[in-house]
Structure 1
């Protein structure tokens, strides 16, 4: 079970560092050395595979990556009482609260996806996340009562949060004094995109970066092939590959209900909370993978679609033209569904 500081990260996609043999020969002039850097952040792991990195650059780049991710953690963490996000959460003020441009951008994108998913992707769901034991609060010893659920739900709702851009400054504003924002659904995606921007600033044009289960790539891998990512089968007992995709120049993220859970009163409790019911999801969809122009978008969409369940999610996918791959429980096995947009990324013969 992957427990991060966000408690929502699922490592459901994995690097295929050297690409997959598709029968195409690669000339030796296309090959280049790959350097893999990795470390810990936000209670999970980050990784960067970089092509043509000079030996003298390795340690400097590692330090820059770690410093930047530590800064992202200090911005978004709900596990650090002094993070920028938690200072906003702790404040009961309903006047505009100054935030960084990055924070405003993350919240703006989250509110947009929240609206497109009919409120299923709700960054104000923190009180319910905490109630069910997937936030900084301890895991409950018994199932929360309906009274507790209703009380937590009363403190949630996207309509209670707004972003204000005024004279070049950004603010968040809430109209409930105890509104609690939890950016766990998009934090890893933002951090992966931020890593990609760092690569570009450093003059690196061939890389694959990940933070938890959110990834972004650019250019070709060490073999001169597009970067490829494997979607794992929905089990916490093996790392078998379900499908493989080329994601060159895109972000990818997976949300699932099969790794981050616990048992309570004889039931499996998923970390994915439905804002409408205030309870963990109960439907048959076990994972959703989304490919988007940014990892932040993919990270937000996968959570919202996961909450909606297979049929409602398919409707949104068709309406929005999203590249989505779903794995759905059926009897003793699983079935898959993908949108036409996702199929264009699929490596032939690997589904």
Structure 2
């Protein structure tokens, strides 16, 4: 996944921490081998290369993530879509990170395309998938969250029930520290080129993920383009949202929904979060300042801060 993972945990005396570390590394490597677009021999790329209408056997974990991605796509009205690999590559965010020029942007014309929810069939019972049309699938909006969940499952399989695990800012926690204190995670201020804490929150028996426009972008002819694609326009996002953070039971779902709400924008995103009873924080750019819209349990909070 091109990034680092972290794992903080408390366990009984005599635990072999080296063995735990090796198991965690294998868990992350397994997700990477199955779901990376950067590995030519990954299971995802094998599916991408397969002919349409042909059932392709996939690992159980990949079938699980594909099924979840299609559900979130349907529930978000297509705002979350994994059939954007061609767009990701065209805008220079895919494998090879090709340079995008002003002239090249002019040639990236939106074309009629099916969402993955309509063009991909997944059979999680038989662990197989079939494309109805040629597709270039990209799981960057959900695989990292699933990887965090796999870290959690790895620790729980060893009987470890007090932990905080994460991959590049996507986190999942369980239990409390020995002194009874909750795990505390930092929320990053969505500034490009500088890492600064915007706030902190306690996290207990839940997961958190953030989607934003400030970590990966390209500058072309004085215009910045974020890495998240809008399936409706076939181009990078263009809305006032700087970041969306979601808290959910699983990091896979928090990851996917953070992306979906980011794509939906500053009006439809909060509306759907309220409708679905979600916990979400929307950070909007207002000139040099940021405005926060906080939703807890589907309820819009009265206090909206500008920083």
TM superposition shift of 1:62: 0.6
Hey, what does 1:148 align to over in structure 2?
108
Hey, what does 1:34 align to over in structure 2?
none
Hey, what does 1:75 align to over in structure 2?
34
Would you say the 8 A contact 2:145–2:255 is kept in 1? Answer: yes
Q: 1:328 to 1:95 in 2, by over 3 A?
A: same
Counterpart selection for 1:309 from 257, 265, 272: 265
Hey, what does 2:136 align to over in structure 1?
180
TM superposition shift of 1:256: 0.5
Counterpart selection for 2:51 from 78, 92, 101: 92
State the distance in 2 between where 1:146 and 1:261 align: 18
TM superposition shift of 1:282: 1.3
Counterpart selection for 1:236 from 184, 189, 192: 192
Q: 1:56 to 1:196 in 2, by over 3 A?
A: closer
2:4 aligned with 1:45: yes
State the distance in 1 between where 2:179 and 2:280 align: 27
3-state SS of paired residue (1:106): helix
Counterpart selection for 2:24 from 38, 60, 65: 65
Provide the TM-score with structure 2 as the length reference: 0.92
Hey, what does 1:201 align to over in structure 2?
157
Q: 1:221 to 1:342 in 2, by over 3 A?
A: farther
State the distance in 2 between where 1:88 and 1:60 align: 33
Would you say the 8 A contact 1:128–1:149 is kept in 2? Answer: no
Alignment of 1:1-351 (within 5 A): 42-52=1-11, 54=13, 57-143=16-102, 144-145=104-105, 148-151=108-111, 154=113, 157-165=116-124, 168-176=125-133, 178-341=134-297
Cα root mean square deviation, aligned: 2.0
TM superposition shift of 1:243: 2.4
Higher mean displacement: 211-220 or 201-210: 211-220
Unpaired runs of 5+ in structure 1? 1-41, 345-350
